[in-house]
Structure 1
Amino acid sequence: MSISRRSFGFGVAALGLTACGGTVPTGRGTSGSSGSSSLPADLRPTPNAGYDAWVAAFRSRAEAKGISRATLRAAFRGAGYLPGVVKRDRNQTEFKRTLEDYLAIAVSDERLAKGRAAYARHRTTLKTLEQTYGVDAEIICAIWGLESFYGERRGNVPVISATSTLAYDGRRGAFFEKQLIAALKILQNGDISAARMTGSWAGAMGHTQFIPTSYQSFAVDFTGDGRRDIWSDDPTDALASTAAYLQRNGWTRGLKWGGEAGAPGTPAGRKLQPQAGGPVFSVTSNFDVIKRYNNSDSYAIGVGHLADRIAGGGPLRASFPPDRYGLTKEDRILLQKRLTARGFDTGGADGVLGPKSRAAISAYQSSRGLAVTGDPSPSLLNSLG
């Protein structure tokens, strides 16, 4: 399997959608880069003799790759085994959302409103990056929105602890040891201190969630302060690094990513219908470049459509078909509202039936003496009317 910038994770810690690490999510994340005291207990260093022995042996391998003893001492001071990282890595499920559900989250009203506000705040920077790298300002902003909710969810797990834990664990040991070496080289270069080098549980970092090897290859110091600081509250270097990544992966200046087939302004291109019965898209080579950032059709459409909406475009014109339970999005929203009104909290009414909505359905079914399945249905909706 080829490793793209984040093929080991969905990005989208800010989305709450994970392909294997996340979505981020990204798993879906904690704001900023606060201290370890705000982390769950299982994401704080825990004594582990096997890990300690692994680190001791690793030091010689790191030195052989040019990492100084001073860097190793600084990097591992306070670092340790994080059991929660291993748990999250092993408990990833292969879960595929429909495009309709994905877009309901990726281009939610909240993400769109925050995106337009972030674009307005950073318009000068984004337009400068567009001129410099040829990548549409709205595309850069949309990736920022999907990866970290415009910087609100950058992750605060220490990267040295996370990558060394996963390298020691061994399931993807060679890959994560490579990420650990890259992270150490970043520290040695002086771009960031070990204390400030935080990210997702799988080691993706900063506003636009770069893994360490991609940071080494593509991160840029656009502010000119001598550091490629993708962690700072100032997102400039992170946004520039994203633009540089897309440019170097073949972005064509002035070419749209695509759009809904038949909609005004949508370029000619190959046709794509990710969800049977749903909208058809016409996509260009720049769509494929977005997939280099995250190898998912839904992700690339999410980025492109969010970018179009940030620029003032409207929602998709075509509708999606009813789901496998026979419910439309409007039905699912109504179901969530009715459950919540009855005291069964679904955590919101967006039409996406995630774990909280299914738990609410189960609780309602149990309260009525029904078979507890957690599954929606037209009859369940009607019973709540």
Structure 2
Amino acid sequence: MSNVFLIPRTIISGNDALEKSGSYLKKCGNKAFIVTDNMMVTIGNVQKLVNVLDKQEIGYELFAEINSEPTDQMVYQGVKTYKETKCDFLIAIGGGSPIDTMKAIGAMLTNPGTLADYMGKEIATLPPALIAIPTTAGTGSEATQFTIISDTQTEVKMLLKGAPLLPAIAIVDPELTLTSPPNVTAATGIDALTHAIEAYTSQKSQPMSDTFAVSAVKRVFKNLLKAYKNGKDIDARKEMSVAALEAGIAFNNSSVTIVHGMSRPIGAIFHVPHGLSNAMLLSECLKFALAGSPERFCDLAKATGIYENNMSDLQGGQAFITEVEKLCAQLQVSTPEQFGVDKKKYFDQLDKMAEDALKSGSPQNTIRNVGKEDIINIYKALWK
């Protein structure tokens, strides 16, 4: 069977990557539409980008209206502002939310209809050039053809996809992640780990995506706790930035599975940040998926040094999941209750959440068959 493997056309990575990117940005257009959030403005990351643009005499329009759960209304406002200000390419700087919003704005600039029209369909028409500059090490959105946007009418997180959504340039500068607080470092780092594990255990996995996925898992295990405990550890930050990029490349080509499918409804209904909702689900979902392919989970135990001689594939897989649980505990991952989710509303929404998870298509990529009752039982298990 043949496989298609997609990555950004240009990846600029390492310390000072943003500063060195000017000549590449110059080729993209004359006026950039910068998609970001107010925090990026406050801490000075946007100014670092503006300095690069000024040196290249590139104009810009700042659109800093994004929050942690981007909606269709933010996208439509962005499209309107882009057209009014006569920009000709887009740059997102921030976490996954600004990058996802930028992709959706780009898609709506060149494709007819509404975002909801593209649920389950491929976005086909190329947008203006998309430039992604992540400031967290987790979402991998800088390397993917996917975007997640909340539908404000249905409270559903829409998964939109298509090769045109793949950024033309990804600028991965670990120095931009130094300002991430510990809770963000933890949540986004677990997001990267989830991407890598799901990519490797997906029904759509392929040899090239496997290589990136395994490398990402190893980097996360070696470096996430270091970055969490000492945010100024530039070596750990650099390794985590690479891990997030690798994991993004991996799942871009093999898809995510049950964790992401189930996390989106939690985020859409209860406004739990994406990385954290993944982290809440990770252990229970992996324990469910293990029976579908113990050998794949055992591979990850071997790659990370967790496997011990004479372990069966099942024992190796279980040992790997136990280490994932230990890492989440060290990172103080919240439960839904600790986050402040209302228990009654949570249980009232179980049926809708399970249906929405299945509609996303991601659970069906899981290496073990997943039914609605399986998903409901996993959701219930989160409330301990």
TM-score by length of 2: 0.21
Structure whose residues are more often strand by fraction: 2
Task: Return the structure number with greater helix share.
Answer: 2
Q: Give me the TM-score of the superposition, normalised by structure 1.
A: 0.21
When Rg is computed on C-alpha atoms for both structures, the one with the higher figure is 1
